[in-house]
Amino acid sequence: MKKLSLKELNRISVAEFQTRKKSPVVLVMDNIRSALNVGSAFRTGDAFAVEKVVLCGITAKPPHREILKTAIGASASVAWEYQKDTVTAIEQLRNDGYQIVAVEQAAGSKALEEFPFTEKAKYALVFGNEVTGVAQPVMDLVDHCIEIPQFGTKHSLNISVSIGVVLWEFIRSRKPV
């Protein structure tokens, strides 16, 4: 099997990406400590063509050396905005017609593979702080909570891994309403 060269991948330009139809999903970063994780969110967001990334609270913003290191240019292709307060960001997204979905271990959460992502809905996926998770005032406002099933002893995934797993399931499983 021959590995493809960069030229053979037929990558689109940043300008083409910005005009291309996006997946109806926004990533909300609730007080993420690591700028490396933020850069990974941009890179994964680019891969799955998310509408935008919303950076909240203490979350680092581009241009930041560590974001640029892991985003490898995706912070220039993926739309983003900064909101000082995650609750304000959530309220604005809800007013814009998004279903608010926390990715968190919580009472009443639904296993990721059981969540009914639909083609007609828009989603704001909220990812929380690496230590404390999604803040409780934000959890009080979400429409749904999904959890990635885990079978080891840690019951914890790096946020960048979680974003990839959830976005893949989002793309793979959406069903027409």
CATH of the domain at 31: 3.40.1280.10
For residue 10, is it within any domain?
no
Tens-place pLDDT, residues 22-57: 999 999 999 999 999 999 999 999 999 999 999 999
Is residue 11 in a domain? no
Domain that holds residue 79: 20-173
Assigned domain for 13 exists: no
What the block records as the tokens of 139 is 């959890």
Assigned domain for 62 exists = yes
Q: What is the pLDDT of residues 79-130, one digit of tens each?
A: 999 999 999 999 999 999 999 999 999 999 999 999 999 989 999 999 999 9
Distance separating the N- and C-terminal Cα atoms of the chain:
40
Order across the sheet with 110-111: list the strands: 80-83, 50-56, 23-30, 122-128, 98-103, 144-147, 110-111
How many domains is the chain partitioned into structurally?
Answer: 1
- Contact present, 139 and 130 (Cβ < 8 Å): no
Residue 100 in any domain: the answer is: yes
Residues 6 or more apart whose CB falls under 8 angstroms from that of 42 comprise 53, 62, 67, 70, 71, 74, 75, 78, 80
Domain assignment present for 82: yes
